[in-house]
Structure 1
Amino acid sequence: MKDTRSEALSAARAVVAIVVIAFFVELVIMQSMLFFGHAHQESLLFTILDAAILSLVIAPPIYWLVLSPIKQEYEKRLKAEHHAEEMGRIAITDPLTAIMNRRGITVGLLDAMAQAERYRTPLTVAMVDIDHFKEINDTYGHDTGDRVLKSVAAILSDALRMPDKVGRYGGEEFLIMLPHTNLAQGSKIVERIRASVSKKIFDQGAKKARVTVSVGVTQFKPGEDLEQLMSHADKALYDAKKGGRNLVVARKSR
């Protein structure tokens, strides 16, 4: 849409330019005919200068009458589009971690599921939960809890590839989406993420705190819906928590 309006603005400018040039040429021709028909009249040089001056006089009014309203409307619509895009981005972004929120990652996952279903490509999802997060808040305060959430989100984002996506699914839970990735490959990716998080040291003054995550991984099975897929991921996460935390558990869809 932007390109179309830009082309319309360029076309309007071209029309105005053509009108001005045509007016200028017409004046030159008419005055030249008078000059060559009547030698006693002013020189051709002054005739051309007269035409040029007249063109300069009529060009600004044409610009303000034709181009200025079009330009103002174009800038107004461009600003409105930018505002709409920004509001759309905010609507799917978690304000604390700056990654996608639950709505954003869910929409992305539904699209990935449709693509995997259509093209028969693998899709793996992982549910990541910060271990003992309530204790972190209770012991160090909510500000520290917020810093932990942001740090974990940054580690997850940095570890993912270009087509992968991550979002804050709720509280201390994150959902990772790995298109074109089977369960074995996805398990290796999230295992590296788990290890990276466990190595992170949070400096709390005199105390040094470490954070771990538990991860449940599953692969999308063609024909299942979002609720079924997330149920498999949740069950795998539950097994990781039950198995001692700081663990990755993969669960196949039945």
Structure 2
Amino acid sequence: MSKNVDTQKATTRDFSIILGAVRVMVSAVILAEICVFSIYSFLDPSALPRGMTVTFFVATAVAFPIGYYIHNQNAKLRKLSRQLAIIASTDQMSGLLNRTAFLEAVKEALHTPKSGPTAGSFLFIDVDHFKKLNDDFGHSVGDEAIKAIADAIKATPEEKALVGRIGGEEFGMFLPYANKKKAKIVAESIRRKVRKLVYEKGEHRHQLSISVGGALHQAGQSLSDFVQRADECMYLAKSQGRNRVVFEKTNQPQIPENEIRQTA
């Protein structure tokens, strides 16, 4: 399927380049013929037909390859520009959006005209006991775990979801227009997938788990407040035993910040 899509894109790109070259050629021929007509009309009208014929073939032969080269180079530059933009916005280890690109994308989504009762839900995902995994198995296994967790998050069926790596073992997901019920279903699906990831080495065995905090966006709420509320719920999930999803409640008890951080 992907090969067919790539072939179709390549065919479209080639057609666009050829069409651009033809446009350059036609413009050059028209301009050259106008110049020849103007010159020969005054100097030698009898030679006008021959001059215009020669000009047509010369301009066509020269302008088409030049036009093709110019448009081909422009296409390469546009492709390179897109690739650089992707590299600049992507976390190289996980393949997800990096922190800056992710938060900018969420911010833009929050300012997009809404077609539902809420702009959406934010899930703050943190890997439990990640330091112990690195200590027991090494950082290379830790990197593998980050990639595996990223794959589990990307496997969500929500096509319009925005997903990014916020920090070392922290991930974020924004679900446009998703209410609390839908967001919890997605979060639980990710939690179960991650829980199946197990690493073993000698006497060491580490079963991965995540703590997920969720928040529903409220009208007029800033991005920082939105993310912070999900972050606080994530730490509540930590304090309640980890490997769970905690979604905000209006009457949800707050625990002191120092106590929350100690459970990470």
TM-score (norm 2): 0.73
Q: Is the 8 A contact 2:136 2:204 kept in 1?
A: no
* Equivalence for 1:81: 78
Aligned with 2:21 (options 9, 27, 43)? 9
CA distance in 2, matches of 1:219, 1:126: 9
Aligned with 2:94 (options 87, 97, 101)? 97
Higher alpha-carbon Rg: 1
**Cα gap change, 1:251 to 1:107, in 2 (>3 Å):** same
4+ aligned runs moved over 6 Å, structure 1: 2-5, 15-18
* Equivalence for 1:62: 59
Q: Is the 8 A contact 2:89 2:98 kept in 1?
A: yes
Report Cα offsets for 1:163-203 as digits up to 9, x if no partner.
Answer: 11211011100001111210121012101211111122234
Amino acid at match of 2:140: D
Aligned pairs for 1:42-61 (under 5 A) are 59=57, 61=58
* Equivalence for 2:255: none
Q: Identity of counterpart residues, as a percentage?
A: 26
Aligned pairs for 1:1-254 (under 5 A) are 7-13=19-25, 59=57, 61-115=58-112, 120-204=117-201, 207-252=204-249
CA distance in 2, matches of 1:168, 1:125: 13
CA distance in 1, matches of 2:113, 2:194: 29
**Cα gap change, 1:100 to 1:188, in 2 (>3 Å):** same
Report Cα offsets for 1:207-241 as digits up to 9, x if no partner.
Answer: 54310000000001010101110110111011001
Q: Is the 8 A contact 1:167 1:175 kept in 2?
A: yes
Q: Is the 8 A contact 1:232 1:253 kept in 2?
A: no
Amino acid at match of 1:197: V
**Cα gap change, 1:177 to 1:253, in 2 (>3 Å):** farther
Q: Is the 8 A contact 2:125 2:170 kept in 1?
A: yes
Deviation at residue 149 of structure 1 after TM alignment: 0.3
Q: How many pairs does the alignment contain?
A: 218
**RMSD of Structure 2 on Structure 1 (CA):** 3.0
SS at match of 1:95: coil
CA distance in 2, matches of 1:241, 1:144: 23
CA distance in 1, matches of 2:198, 2:96: 22
CA distance in 2, matches of 1:180, 1:113: 10
Deviation at residue 73 of structure 1 after TM alignment: 1.2
Q: Give unpaired runs (5+ residues) of structure 1.
A: 19-54
**Cα gap change, 1:144 to 1:242, in 2 (>3 Å):** same
Q: Is the 8 A contact 2:29 2:60 kept in 1?
A: no
Amino acid at match of 1:11: R
